[in-house]
Amino acid sequence: MYKLSALFCCCTLMSSFTAFAGETPFAIAIHGGAGTIQKSSFTPEKEQAYRSKLKEAVDAGYVILDQGGTSLDAVTAAINVLENSPYFNAGKGAVYTHDEQHEMDASIMDGQTMNAGAVAGVKHIKNPIDLARLVMNESVHVMLYGEGAEEFALTQGVPLFANETFNTKSRYDSLLRAKAKLAEASKAKIDYQAAHSQLETEYKVGTVGAVALDKNGNISAGTSTGGMTNKRYGRIGDAPIIGAGTYAENGVCAISATGHGEYFIRYQVAGDICAKVKYQHVSINQAADDVINKRLVNAGGTGGVIAIDGEGNIATPFNTDGMYRATRQHGEQAKVMIWHDK
């Protein structure tokens, strides 16, 4: 009798395991930017606030995936949470330009169709990722800029908001510090380009993004940013550029990047990682690590990425002090991380 019971239990466990293993995997990863994130500057309350918002974002996307929704919907929902928070450099938390304005960029890519949409230099859009998706789905273009992008927004029923909507004291204080540092460098007769390169990482980075794999095996990626503190002349970073800050291809990988955009553009970071997976047949972890912690470091670039492959494997490498990030895979609870020690 005991042997029969044991055999029954064993068969039941094997059946349960087989059923679970046979289920279609799905997963999501999000980031809130990489940079000079020093643990010593965080009170327990501040750290908990950031972690809670990251968890809210990753859970928002996960629920959609769990219910059979698309990776595009999951990516959009997760990024909306981050865009609506003042903690991160996108939407409500966008940094200031030299002229004390906010100029935002975003992009999204569908790995199933290889379709993509992007906006750059928009000043009056509450959720730039939503507008990027409209560009992808409702226009014949991939990227729209500035006033043209906002004119298109109006044709799609997207309301415009006053630029002051995105004002925050912490971002304004950061702008003033950046201007003061550059002014000191000017008095010392240091070339502007050299002085700018000496600015701390915190002034050059900051983005939000998400990548996801849905139950149908489709992967997507999206990225949204307020750009670089004290940026001038209509500067555009990597976030809206397909292949630099965002990329997705079914069966290969999806990437959302965060960091010093000029380097991510020059080295086609998002596309390069996926190319390694596709053509060199290396894991998503190895491909992402090779680009972020070797190639980019050797070039002098700072930042990180979140990456996911067609089987739901996730990589989140970065070469800065920290990167706000969270992941959630099929059947698991959310993992929220900020520093290398996790």
Q: What share of the chain is helix, strand, coil (3-state, %, to 5)?
A: 45, 20, 35
* Burial of 1 per CB tally in 10 Å (0-12, 13-18, 19+): exposed
Separation CA 313–CA 311 (nearest Å): 6
Find all residues with CB under 8 Å of 251, minimum gap 6, and list them. 217, 310
Q: Which of 70, 207, 246, 316 is catalytic?
A: 207
Amino acid (one-letter) located at 38: Q
Q: Is 207 a catalytic residue?
A: yes
Strands 208-213 and 219-225: antiparallel
Kindly give the interhelix angle for 146-155 and 128-138, rounded to the nearest 10 degrees: 70
In terms of Cα–Cα distance, which of 72, 200, 47 is closest to 132?
A: 72
CA dihedral 16, 18, 23, 26 (to 10 degrees): 90
Find all residues with CB under 8 Å of 157, minimum gap 6, and list them. none
Strands 115-122 and 143-145: parallel
- What does the block give as tokens for 61? 């996307």
Q: Which residue has the tokens 């020093």?
A: 38
In terms of Cα–Cα distance, which of 128, 132, 127 is closest to 117?
A: 132
Q: Are 108 and 222 in contact (CB under 8 A)?
A: yes
Supply the DSSP symbol for 242.
Answer: B
Supply the DSSP symbol for 151.
Answer: H
Exposed e or buried b for every residue in 51-82, given b needs 16+ CB within 10 A?
A: bebbbbbbbbbbebbbeebbbbbbbbbbbbbb
Residues designated as active site: 207
